[in-house]
Chains A and B, each alone.
Chain A
């Protein structure tokens, strides 16, 4: 299939109506893309651009049911016929990352088509070089990449399967300008040497114009309304494109929306700054793969910051300079160094935001994070706007009327009764800012409030912020947007704190050198060891053997720096078991007529069962576990890959949980341990929020994986082998020693 004449796409009369919608999302779309053509696909928000891309991958209808008419072919066959023939890069960096290391991630498609593992590294290297990531070692953790690098990694992952058609769905919408330029450079290099057909969806057209030949425009009701050479369409359709909210080259930013400051509650007037911060730093403790922890400086604010009523203060700096981190410290979500460096209000009313209860914090401060969807707390759009006012005890028809008028000004009035989670990204962004400001907080903290937004939402957000300032509110924003910076009274430049060079720890604990199956089996052997122990004296002996073995398992012989924090880690993981041992022992003592012997026996039994797990399980690596489950135990490939991918992301769930908690707190929804109702509501909302985000991530990842041949991966090969080695046998034998000790002692 490797010819210059490939990538010919025919879309004929494509109409698509998902189940549950009265109107089709795409209507009678007919398009011919010539091999090697580079196409920019644009349209109003909700115009079905992403849906059309999905149709081009051949996956439309497999994800949600609906009525599909018409035909899509790639080089005369259905697009899904050859796995990987259509490459897809999604909007959110990292949404398609499958593996923990760069090399394995790029090789994912090759594994799915059953390529010979011996040939994989060469293809992987070539693909990485093609996107400008050739310098990265193949074992670089995917989590260590910047947003721009992650998007280029996704592109490399599609290139490994030599696609005839590459689809990019707003690949730079969530990136800062420098990262966005990296991604565009990679895309430009891609179509230069080896012609592939390319389709990019974007609403900031300017930077892409030099890279494409043709511009196709979809209307809000899903029809192709313009199609032709890019310069020509830009000339003739300028007004149409502007009306759709697209960023057209050489067109100044739109005038901010006029929002009556009276629609926002009056900001209580304060003497002096509403928020002051001394020069501060924020430290972040990270846990490294070897179990040690390191405290790194995540951000520094070098000059004092004062946000006075009516002022706009902006934080600027490259990605990774810690703008979001400083904002989170200003909101009291993170501890600043020195302690108490941030104060809300002035004089005798000054307060540390970390010390305020949720309603008191919400009364003084609002915060809009970059992911607007994560701050949604209510079930209707109107309730969302009223949430904080209600939490502050301000109820009544006047509040409601003001909220409705505010929604009306933002074009959201028809959606007042809708569930905010069903809104588009732009609508959610407008809603998030309106909901943050309705109660008139003296300070607004906004993280990249305009990034990735179309002209309509841009004008609305900038207009809202202006209204807030006119009402006497102060604003601190982290931004890359030159138009926003131009409106600022003060600009703080942040730079990434210098990172001390990290000494790699070359010594790995003995347990970590063993395979995942041996580790799991070794942990399992704690069960019989605990249960066969008849008396606490036996259990004590068994426990002693286990502790000795643990010391050996955690030893890390060899030259170089020793990994730190091993013992602490094991102790931490024994805590649940120790608590259970105590409580079980106590209840047994109570029930068994205050018999200390029985109680001790039961308590120690619990410890014997738990200790091997605490020592061995932390060293189970998800990717290697997948390798071994599939290649050693011959479990079915696809569930194994899915499980490894899920294990990979478990740590991100904690971050989502924290973020939901922050959003609720700053909206005035607190959790006081003395109020069971509040605790229950908070737990329910956080759990649902976590599951909603998890399910969203699963759908995105499934789409990305299918575009790399996972749907048809029946006989996969594996990037890494899964050997059972002598050390694994030794570990098993050692883990059986406590069982033997218990049996002998009986």
Chain B
């Protein structure tokens, strides 16, 4: 047998093999990354509290500017593994882990994780899982916001309480339900900007940093770095 797996230079390197055929190392890495980000999220919650309260005094929707940190796991998970589902899976594991030691949002943390992860996943899907540059990362960060925004500005009807799965959402969400529409839209803007800059920009830089450290040699992001300077 002679197998040559070369990747085209310059363009983003995509995942090896069939896009949807996850290798074990893909699955384990996303889970571990998610767990590590979960710890980061838990710590960030403590910093977020005073920061968000400071800007609350100025203009409530500005609190969204500090939320982008929570979209990091989805963006980085996607950038590292580059397979359908990676962003969602990574963000959900991170939410689960950050929830276990106790946060100020209790179990709703998990709901947020699913919604944010779905947003990032949507961005990578729109790009056909082919583009993994800084632009794609920022789009994924920005799109992590809208579903989370809906959860935060719209209260789920309490009448859902009798429904099987949706019941756990009954009356849930709506931390910012009292805002007027203009402020709600400003909040979406703040979330989106924060997602693009913190989750997208910083997430992309972090991924490149990890690749340079040699930690991503099993992944497309690591190959990009190695092809840039073959040894």
Residues of A participating in the B interface, judged by any CB pair closer than 8 Å: 18-22, 61-71, 419, 421-422, 520-521, 523-528, 531-532, 572-577, 579-581, 583-584, 586-587, 590-591, 606, 609-614, 617-618, 620, 638-639, 642-643, 645-647, 649-650, 653-654, 657, 687-688, 690-692, 694-699, 701-703, 705-706, 710-711, 739, 743
Whether B35 and A19, one on each chain, are in contact in the complex, defined by CB atoms closer than 8 angstroms, is: no
The segment from B114-122, B139-147, B215-223 found at the interface with A is B215-223
Whether B99 and A650, one on each chain, are in contact in the complex, defined by CB atoms closer than 8 angstroms, is: no
Whether B108 and A577, one on each chain, are in contact in the complex, defined by CB atoms closer than 8 angstroms, is: no
The answer, among A613, A645, A688, for a CB contact under 8 Å with B213, is: A688
The answer, among A572, A586, A590, A743, for a CB contact under 8 Å with B158, is: A743
Point out the residues of chain B lying under 8 angstroms from A609, CB to CB: 105-108
Whether A647 and B36, one on each chain, are in contact in the complex, defined by CB atoms closer than 8 angstroms, is: no
Whether B57 and A587, one on each chain, are in contact in the complex, defined by CB atoms closer than 8 angstroms, is: yes
The answer, among A586, A590, A617, A695, for a CB contact under 8 Å with B29, is: A695
B76 to chain A, nearest CB (A): 9
B144 to chain A, nearest CB (A): 19
Interchain CA distance A71-B1 in the complex, whole Å: 6
Whether A580 and B6, one on each chain, are in contact in the complex, defined by CB atoms closer than 8 angstroms, is: no
B222 to chain A, nearest CB (A): 8
B39 in the interface, Cβ–Cβ < 8 Å? yes
Whether B230 and A690, one on each chain, are in contact in the complex, defined by CB atoms closer than 8 angstroms, is: no
Whether A645 contacts B218 in the complex (CB less than 8 A), given A583-B53, A610-B104, A613-B107, comes out as no
Point out the residues of chain B lying under 8 angstroms from A642, CB to CB: 27-28, 30-31
Whether B102 and A573, one on each chain, are in contact in the complex, defined by CB atoms closer than 8 angstroms, is: yes
Whether A705 contacts B168 in the complex (CB less than 8 A), given A19-B6, A577-B103, A643-B93, comes out as no
Interchain CA distance A646-B100 in the complex, whole Å: 13
The answer, among A583, A610, A697, for a CB contact under 8 Å with B106, is: A610
Can you name 26 A-B pairs with beta carbons within 8 Å? Answer: A19-B223, A20-B223, A61-B3, A62-B23, A63-B25, A64-B217, A68-B1, A71-B1, A419-B214, A421-B214, A525-B168, A528-B170, A531-B155, A572-B102, A574-B102, A577-B104, A583-B50, A609-B108, A610-B106, A639-B89, A646-B93, A650-B35, A688-B209, A692-B210, A692-B215, A703-B25
Knowing that A527-B111, A532-B158, A654-B39 are A-B contacts, what are 15 other residue pairs whose CB atoms are under 8 Å apart, sorted by A's residue number?
A: A19-B226, A20-B231, A21-B226, A65-B16, A527-B171, A576-B103, A579-B46, A590-B57, A591-B60, A613-B106, A638-B22, A690-B36, A694-B35, A701-B32, A705-B28
Point out the residues of chain A lying under 8 angstroms from B231, CB to CB: 20-22
B1 to chain A, nearest CB (A): 6
Interchain CA distance A62-B22 in the complex, whole Å: 11
B63 to chain A, nearest CB (A): 9
**Interface residues as binary, B41-61 with A (CB distance below 8 Å gives 1, 0 otherwise):** 000011001100100110010
Interchain CA distance A697-B25 in the complex, whole Å: 10
Whether B56 and A587, one on each chain, are in contact in the complex, defined by CB atoms closer than 8 angstroms, is: yes
A352 to chain B, nearest CB (A): 29
Whether A646 contacts B35 in the complex (CB less than 8 A), given A21-B231, A63-B25, A739-B161, comes out as yes
Whether A647 and B35, one on each chain, are in contact in the complex, defined by CB atoms closer than 8 angstroms, is: yes
Interchain CA distance A694-B96 in the complex, whole Å: 17
Interchain CA distance A21-B225 in the complex, whole Å: 12
Residue of A nearest to B100 (CB): A617
Residues of B participating in the A interface, judged by any CB pair closer than 8 Å: 1-7, 16, 22-25, 27-36, 38-40, 45-46, 49-50, 53, 56-57, 60, 89, 93, 96-97, 99-108, 110-111, 155, 158, 161, 167-174, 206, 209-210, 212-218, 222-223, 226-227, 230-231
Interchain CA distance A497-B10 in the complex, whole Å: 59
Point out the residues of chain A lying under 8 angstroms from B2, CB to CB: 67-69
Interface of A is mostly: helix
Whether A528 and B158, one on each chain, are in contact in the complex, defined by CB atoms closer than 8 angstroms, is: yes
Interchain CA distance A66-B230 in the complex, whole Å: 13
Point out the residues of chain A lying under 8 angstroms from B226, CB to CB: 19-21
Whether A531 contacts B172 in the complex (CB less than 8 A), given A646-B93, A699-B218, comes out as yes
Point out the residues of chain B lying under 8 angstroms from A657, CB to CB: 39
Whether A643 contacts B104 in the complex (CB less than 8 A), given A22-B231, A688-B209, comes out as no
Whether A688 and B36, one on each chain, are in contact in the complex, defined by CB atoms closer than 8 angstroms, is: no
Point out the residues of chain B lying under 8 angstroms from A20, CB to CB: 223, 226-227, 230-231
Point out the residues of chain B lying under 8 angstroms from A620, CB to CB: 100
The answer, among A70, A583, A614, for a CB contact under 8 Å with B102, is: A614
Interchain CA distance A574-B2 in the complex, whole Å: 59
Point out the residues of chain A lying under 8 angstroms from B215, CB to CB: 421, 691-692, 695-696
B124 to chain A, nearest CB (A): 17
Interchain CA distance A21-B101 in the complex, whole Å: 44
A599 to chain B, nearest CB (A): 13
Whether A695 and B32, one on each chain, are in contact in the complex, defined by CB atoms closer than 8 angstroms, is: yes
Point out the residues of chain A lying under 8 angstroms from B56, CB to CB: 587, 590-591
Residue of A nearest to B167 (CB): A528
Point out the residues of chain B lying under 8 angstroms from A645, CB to CB: 28, 31
Point out the residues of chain B lying under 8 angstroms from A421, CB to CB: 213-215
Whether B210 and A695, one on each chain, are in contact in the complex, defined by CB atoms closer than 8 angstroms, is: yes
Interchain CA distance A611-B226 in the complex, whole Å: 49
Interchain CA distance A647-B34 in the complex, whole Å: 10
Whether B24 and A688, one on each chain, are in contact in the complex, defined by CB atoms closer than 8 angstroms, is: no
Whether A526 and B106, one on each chain, are in contact in the complex, defined by CB atoms closer than 8 angstroms, is: yes
Whether B106 and A527, one on each chain, are in contact in the complex, defined by CB atoms closer than 8 angstroms, is: yes
Residue of B nearest to A588 (CB): B56
